[in-house]
Amino acid sequence: MNTDDILADPAASVWLKAAILALDGLDPVDAANDTEVLAELMRVRCDAMMANYCHPDRPEQPTRKCNVCRNLQTEGLKCW
């Protein structure tokens, strides 16, 4: 898969296509670093949303484990 494939793909989001075009003129190392930061921010946001989904009323045994729960369990803590 390459840039042209994604830009031509009707299933690719408008946001992704705009981001690809915006990154095109940047230093590739800077662009890669920036996108990694953005991906981490979105992972944190997603984990927070999933924690809400997992524990909307703080049930005793959630049916799904979010990354927040898994990370805390690794440290011997509870998400709630």
pLDDT tens-digit map of 18-61: 999 999 889 999 999 999 999 888 888 877 776 666 655 554 54
Here the tokens at position 40 are 């981490």
- Residue 11 pLDDT: 96
In which band, very low, low, confident or very high, does the pLDDT at 79 lie, cut at 50, 70 and 90? low
- Enumerate the H helices of the chain as residue ranges: 3-8, 14-23, 28-54, 67-74
- Residue 16 pLDDT: 93
Return the closest-CA partner of residue 34 out of 46, 20, 14, 47: 20
